[in-house]
Amino acid sequence: MLMDSTVVWARCIEADETNSPEVFHNSKLAIVAAQKRSTEFALSALQLDHDRQVKQFKSEKRELESKVSVLLRNRASTNTKAELPEEEKISSQLGSDQFTGTDVERLDQVVKACNAVESSMLSVSSVFPLGAAQYYS
């Protein structure tokens, strides 16, 4: 039965094609035009959806970049804060270890020289009890 209906339908189409080829051609064109409009509408809907997603992703990207820059600034300030106590420790260690043997000897020489100058000034003040400036003017 199915076979018969298919054959009959095929014969009707053949009969339509032979009887009015222009009508058959126009109906095919109408179907193709409808498919084209449907495809164009689907394409434009997809393009709009794509554009919307692109804008959303760009917005999310800017937001994430902003968060990253904030985190980097926070990390830099945290590193700076962490380095300060270390630098203070290092500088205090350098303060005690800073002077080598030759530096200590040099400091001793400077102290001896200062003592010598001081003693010479004391000896001058004993020679000139009123002050040396008074005798030179």
Is residue 94 situated within a structural domain?
A: yes
Looking at per-residue pLDDT, the higher value among 99 and 109 belongs to 109
Domain presence at residue 12 = no
Q: Is the per-residue pLDDT at 98 higher than 80?
A: no
Range of the domain at 104: 21-127
Name the band, by pLDDT with cuts 50, 70 and 90, for residue 109. Answer: confident
Three-class SS of the chain: CHHHHHHHHHHHHHHHHHHCHHHHHHHHHHHHHHHHHHHHHHHHHHHHHHHHHHHHHHHHHHHHHHHHHHHHHHHHHHHHHHHHHHHHHHHHHHHHHCCCHHHHHHHHHHHHHHHHHHHHHHHHHHHCCCCHHHHHC
Q: Say what the pLDDT of residue 24 is.
A: 83
Which pTM value belongs to this model?
0.39
Residue 79 counted as domain residue: yes
What's the pLDDT at 116? 77
Angle between helices 2-19 and 21-97 (to 10 degrees): 110
The model's pLDDT over 33-58, given as tens digits with 9 standing for 90+, comes to 999 999 999 999 999 999 999 999 99
Tell whether 33 is covered by a domain.
yes
Each residue's pLDDT tens digit, 118-136: 777 666 556 555 555 555 5
Q: Would you state the pLDDT for residue 115?
A: 79
pLDDT at site 13: 53
Domain count, the chain: 1
